[in-house]
Amino acid sequence: MNAQFDFTGKNVFIFGGTSGINLGIAQSFAINGATVAVASRIQAKVDAAVAVLKELGSNAHGYSLDVRQVEDVKAAVTAFHDTVGPIDILVSGAAGNFPAPALGMSANAFRSVIDIDLMGTFHVCQSAYDVLRKPGASIINISAPQAYVPMIMQSHVCAAKAGVDMITRTLALEWGGAGVRVNSVVPGPIDNTEGMDRLAPTQEARAATIQSVPLGRMGEASEIAHAAMFLSSDAAAYISGVVLPVDGGWSLGGAPSAMAAKLAGG
Ligand code: HXC
Ligand code: NAP
């Protein structure tokens, strides 16, 4: 299902938009009329994503960069502004993850995830501020349930994404006066993504994940895109500073779905 919005004439810049959930978000904005830019480290992924977005009719742009390098992030948003114009919708979704126990992780391993997810989000939001369309711009930071549900082998991601959500809330306070809204979207387990391949690499782990979701299934990237589009639309003009789970109820931490289905008479 592809929800319909009208983003004709809007400029969207998606950091980490070259694969998985973020590419799904980029595609949805493209389908709904936006000019879309994506940025990530690997040039081949950037080129492939731009080609996909152009096929969907978007005047797409791509930048190869690492969000850990603030000067490169600044250069990309400036180049986009100079060729296309102000950014209406900014999505910060670049992230790294690998399962590792706290005791089995080097300081550099922990720091890598903090630098990509947390520092990267700060770099992206701060660098883009000057070229956001004001008033009216929307920032979406892509978080994870690890921000508020502690998870074994995820101390780095838990710390980083909790920080991402506090950046969301702080910037909503600091930038609201300029008419910039800032929200987090929190995907639950999303099918066919690098994130789930890393966290649930076996059929058993996949089944256990599905069992733990009240709605009894993994989500689709398009379902995260719907939330990002809603929060960036005029329908959400009075929504800022929210952290919105889109996770089939997973983060409620309730009963496994099979047991719940019995309770519900299913
Ligand atoms: C322990 C590890 C490790 C592992 C890497 N490291 N993988 N330590 N277990 N499995 C260590 C390395 O040994 C090194 O430490 C340090 O981390 C940095 O590794 P590099 O490979 O040099 O880093 P880099 O090339 O910058 O790559 C970053 C990365 C990589 C995060 C390590 O995995 C990556 O690029 N990931 C991007 C794609 C991704 O992760 N997508 C999923 C996002 S999903 P030393 O000490 O040896 O130098 C997500 C949330 C999902 O974010 C939530 C689902 C519910
Ligand atoms: P993914 O396909 O690996 O997406 C990560 C993106 O970020 C890629 O485009 C990657 O491209 C880019 N990236 C990684 N490190 C970067 C860096 N240092 N600088 C610039 N770009 C970088 O993974 P995904 O599973 O779809 O996850 C997407 C987002 O959703 C992440 O924020 C993740 O935390 C969040 N999330 C995912 C799930 C899930 O179920 N998958 C659940 C909750 C939250 P390059 O490799 O080219 O850099």
Cis preceding linkage at 86, omega within 30: no
The three-state secondary structure class of 243 is strand
CA distance 224 to 85: 26
User: Could you give the C-alpha distances from 121 to 5, 42, 128, 160, 205, in angstroms and in order?
Assistant: 26, 18, 11, 10, 30
The string of pLDDT tens digits covering residues 191-233 is 999 999 999 999 999 999 999 999 999 999 999 999 999 999 9
**Residue 38: per-residue pLDDT:** 99
The three-state secondary structure class of 90 is strand
**Residue 3: per-residue pLDDT:** 79
**Residue 1: per-residue pLDDT:** 67
H helix and E strand count, the chain: 10, 7
| DSSP state for residue 17 in the 8-state scheme | T
**Residue 2: per-residue pLDDT:** 73
Q: Considering the entire predicted model, what is its pTM?
A: 0.97
| Mean pLDDT in consecutive groups of 10 residues from the start of the chain, 266 residues | 89 98 98 98 99 98 99 98 98 98 97 99 99 98 97 97 99 98 98 97 96 96 98 98 98 71 69
CA nearest ligand 2 atom 21, residue: 40
**Residue 256: per-residue pLDDT:** 64
**Residue 259: per-residue pLDDT:** 63
**Residue 265: per-residue pLDDT:** 75
The string of pLDDT tens digits covering residues 113-128 is 999 999 999 999 999 9
What is the domain partition of the chain in residue ranges?
11-195+220-251
Ligand 2 pocket, 160 CB below 6 A?
Answer: no
Residue 256 backbone zone (phi > 0: left; psi -120 to 50: alpha; other: beta): beta
CA nearest ligand 2 atom 18, residue: 66
Q: 3-class secondary structure for 108-134?
A: HHHHHHHHHHHHHHHHHHHHHHHHECC
Which numbered atom of ligand 1 lies nearest the CA of 198? Answer: 42
- Mean pLDDT score of the chain: 96
What tokens were used for 82? 């100079």
Ligand 2 pocket, 67 CB below 6 A?
Answer: yes
Q: What residues flank ligand 1, with Cβ below 6 Å? A: 95-98, 100, 105-106, 108-109, 112-113, 144-145, 157, 189, 194-195, 198-199
CA distance 95 to 2: 25
**Residue 253: per-residue pLDDT:** 84
CA distance 186 to 136: 22
**Residue 237: per-residue pLDDT:** 98
Q: Which residues pair with 64 in a beta bridge?
A: 40
Fold of 11-195+220-251: Rossmann fold (3.40.50)
**Residue 212: per-residue pLDDT:** 94
**Amino acid present at 182:** V
Interval between CA 195 and ligand 2 midpoint (Å): 7
Q: Which positions ≥6 away from 222 have C-beta within 8 Å?
A: 1, 2, 24, 28
Taking the CB of residue 7, how many other CB atoms lie within 10 A of it?
22
**Residue 261: per-residue pLDDT:** 66
**Residue 81: per-residue pLDDT:** 98
**Residue 255: per-residue pLDDT:** 58
User: Which residue do the tokens 């299913």 mark?
Assistant: 266
